[in-house]
């Protein structure tokens, strides 16, 4: 049991996918216009991640090594389609605001990265916990960034007005530039606090996406 | 004709793929250290997005729609893009070694570049015709090239200046991107 808690701690704090490993930057920046959107995206990604880890772990002895990446992609894409249909049917408002970024969960490097680095080498239960940990870590990161942008941009949090109405709101933070700006300051604060991020290492000659990259962090570690 | 020009302006400037849609951020931040490499990556991305838009259009309208399988679009598109990139790579290797030298190393990276899948999905959403799809793909690629080359030029300048310690590395790059995004917001005045 302890090792499962370890996996969750690992995903949330030690190797937080968005803040420490700098993976999945597209959704991290794109859908965090509000804390609620960040939460919705985080949970959708977590759902895909948990089930893709489970399925890939169960199939890991059946999938031939040479075609493992296309096989992983098919598994992930099917799960994303299911999540897309469920959000469209039961959470139309969320579906509307996340839009294109739901199908784009397919190319989120976190999911393929975990499939390759963890699920294809570990048993199903451990893989589920790894998915929960990484998914939670991603959700928390998105909520933090979404909260900062929403709070500075309009003085609200989760859609509830916190600052007095007289606060004019700095609109640019809910627009595209605000995403880059908030992320820049979050990484700068982490640098200042000496929290080691991969921000300065991951990127050389690497798309940030672990499927094709040999230098990427998730390739190095096997739990 | 005006329609096509409008699509190019919209996809390249107004809805710039990186700075307002946040697609392809990984390579935008990762491979923008040198102007020359950035330009080659931009060319490769433009090339692949152009071809992928065409193939995605044909598949969607002549296979998925007639068989009422449009809900499979995500799976089909991602597989087609992955296969296509492999094909383009093999084709270039055989026919044009010079071009392969220039673009080759970037091609495998492009499979996971969300811009490619993003454009294919947007084209379907906007119900573009064949020509419009290809033009919008190429426009997106041009917008990507423009912003990554600009960022690379800014970064070569940054390398020569003194930056507060916590901001060294990724934060200053993100801040530059933020300022570029503010500039690109100005283009929204062009939207019709």
In a domain, A222, yes or no: no
DSSP B161: S
Record: contact B72-A81, CB cut-off 8 A: yes
- What's the gap in Å between the CA of A194 and the closest CA on chain B? 9
Q: For residue range B5-20, list pLDDT tens digits in order.
A: 888 888 888 888 888 8
CA distance A167 to chain B (A): 22
| pLDDT at position B44 | 82
Whether B75 sits inside 8 A of A78 (CB atoms) is yes
Which pLDDT tens digit goes with each residue over B139-186?
Answer: 999 999 999 999 999 999 988 888 888 888 888 989 999 999 998 888
Q: Which of B117, B171, B175 sits opposite A104 (nearest CB)?
A: B117
Q: How many CB pairs under 8 A join A and B?
A: 156
Contact B34, B151 (CB under 8 A): no
Q: Is residue A202 part of a domain?
A: no
Task: Tell me whether residue A204 is in a domain.
Answer: no
From A124's Cα to the closest Cα of chain B, the distance in A is 24
Q: Are strands A156-157 and A160-161 parallel, antiparallel or unpaired?
A: antiparallel
Residue B190 has pLDDT above 80, yes or no: no
Do the beta carbons of residue B122 and residue B136 sit within 8 Å?
yes
Q: Tell me if A159 sits within 8 A of A197, measured CB to CB.
A: no
For residues B39 and B98, the model is more confident at B39
Between the ranges A27-36, A188-197, B52-61, B84-93, where is the mean pLDDT highest?
Answer: B52-61
pLDDT at B99: 75
Please give the residue of chain B at the shortest CA–CA distance from A75.
B75
Q: Give the closest-approach CA distance of A142 to chain B in angstroms.
A: 15
Mean pLDDT of B86-94: 82
Min CA distance, B125 vs chain A (Å)? 9
Instruction: Suggest the residue from B171, B177, B188 to mutate for an interface test with chain A (most A CBs closer than 10 A).
Output: B171
Please tell me the predicted confidence (pLDDT) of residue A214: 37
pTM of the model: 0.83
pLDDT at A220: 34
Interchain CB contact of B119 with A (< 8 Å):
no
The predicted model gives B49-58 an average pLDDT of: 91
Q: Do B75 and A81 touch (CB under 8 A)?
A: yes
Three-state secondary structure of B107-136 = HHHHCCCHHHHHHHHHHHHCCCCHHHHHHH
Rounded mean pLDDT, B95-109: 73
Are the beta carbons of B178 and A184 separated by less than 8 Å?
yes
* Host domain of residue A38: 2-192
Per-residue confidence in pLDDT tens, chain A, 223 aa? 678 888 888 888 888 888 887 788 888 888 888 888 899 999 999 999 999 999 999 998 888 888 888 888 889 999 999 999 999 999 898 888 888 888 888 888 888 888 888 888 888 999 999 999 999 999 999 999 999 999 888 888 887 888 887 888 788 888 888 889 998 898 888 888 877 666 555 444 444 444 334 334 433 333 2
Report CB contact under 8 Å: B170, A192.
no
pLDDT tops 80 at residue B108:
no
Is A127 part of any domain? yes
Q: Is residue A209 part of a domain?
A: no
CA distance linking residue A178 with residue A222, whole number of Å = 36
Out of B117, B177, B179, the one facing A107 most closely (by C-beta) is B117
Examine residue A20 and state whether it is found in any structural domain, yes or no. Answer: yes
Question: Is residue A197 in a domain?
Answer: no
Per-residue pLDDT, B147: 92
Report how many domains make up chain A: 1
pLDDT surpasses 60 at B131: yes
Copy the structure tokens of residue B108: 């495998």
State whether B74 and A184 contact (CB < 8 Å): no
pLDDT for the residue B66: 87
Would you call B113 and A207 a contact, using CB atoms and an 8 Å cutoff? yes
Q: Which of B22, B26, B172 sits opposite A207 (nearest CB)?
A: B26
Given A104, A109, A172, which is nearest B26 (Cβ)? Answer: A109
Q: What is the pLDDT of residue A25?
A: 82
Q: Which of residues 133-152 of B touch A (CB under 8 A)?
A: none
A181 in a structural domain:
yes
Q: Which pLDDT does position B33 carry in this prediction?
A: 81
| pLDDT for residue A213 | 40
Beta-carbon separation of A175 and B121 below 8 A = no
CB contact under 8 A, B25 and A29: yes
Q: Residue A205: what pLDDT?
A: 41
Section B103-117 average pLDDT: 74
- Kindly provide the ipTM of the predicted complex, given to two decimals: 0.83
Does the CB of B158 have a partner CB in chain A at under 8 Å? no
Q: Do the Cβ atoms of A84 and B72 come within 8 Å?
A: no
Residue B150: its pLDDT value, please?
92
Q: How far apart are CA A191 and CA A72, in angstroms?
A: 34
Per-residue pLDDT, A57:
92
Give the closest residue to A115 by CA, choosing from A59, A153, A155.
Answer: A59
């Amino acid at each position: 049991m302890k090792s499962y808690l370890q996996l969750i701690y690992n995903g949330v704090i030690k190797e937080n996918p968005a803040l420490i490993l700098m993976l999945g930057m597209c959704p991290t920046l794109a859908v965090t216009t509000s804390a609620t959107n960040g939460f919705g995206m985080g949970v959708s990604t977590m759902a895909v991640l948990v089930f893709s880890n489970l399925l890939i772990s169960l199939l890991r002895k059946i999938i031939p090594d040479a075609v493992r990446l296309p096989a992983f992609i098919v598994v992930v894409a099917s799960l994303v389609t299911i999540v897309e249909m469920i959000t469209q049917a039961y959470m139309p408002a969320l579906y509307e605001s996340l839009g294109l970024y739901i199908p784009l969960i397919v190319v989120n490097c976190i999911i393929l990265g975990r499939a390759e680095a963890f699920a294809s080498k570990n048993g199903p239960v451990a893989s589920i916990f790894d998915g929960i940990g990484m998914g939670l870590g991603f959700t928390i990161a998105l909520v933090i960034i979404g909260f900062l942008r929403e709070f500075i941009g309009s003085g609200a949090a989760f859609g509830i007005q916190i600052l007095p109405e007289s606060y004019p709101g700095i609109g640019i933070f809910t627009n595209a530039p605000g995403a880059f700006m908030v992320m820049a300051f979050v990484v700068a604060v982490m640098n200042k606090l000496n929290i080691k991020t991969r921000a300065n290492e991951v990127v050389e000659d690497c798309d940030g996406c672990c499927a094709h990259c040999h230098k990427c962090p998730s390739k190095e570690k096997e739990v | 004709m005006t329609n096509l020009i409008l699509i190019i302006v919209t996809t390249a400037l107004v809805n710039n793929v990186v700075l307002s849609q946040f697609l392809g951020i990984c390579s935008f931040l990762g491979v923008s250290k040198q102007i020359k490499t950035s330009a080659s990556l931009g060319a490769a991305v433009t090339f692949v997005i152009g071809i992928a838009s065409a193939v995605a259009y044909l598949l969607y309208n002549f296979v998925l729609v007639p068989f009422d399988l449009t809900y499979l679009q995500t799976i089909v598109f991602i597989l087609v893009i992955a296969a296509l990139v492999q094909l383009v790579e093999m084709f270039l290797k055989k026919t044009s070694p010079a071009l392969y030298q220039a673009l080759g190393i970037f091609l495998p990276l492009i499979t996971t570049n969300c811009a490619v899948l993003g454009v294919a999905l947007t084209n379907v959403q906007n119900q573009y015709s064949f020509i419009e799809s290809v033009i919008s793909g190429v426009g997106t690629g041009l917008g990507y090239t423009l912003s990554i080359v600009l960022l690379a030029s800014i970064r070569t300048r940054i390398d020569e200046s003194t930056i507060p310690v916590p901001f060294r590395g990724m934060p200053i790059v993100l801040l530059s991107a933020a300022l570029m995004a503010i500039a690109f917001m100005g283009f929204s005045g062009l939207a019709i």
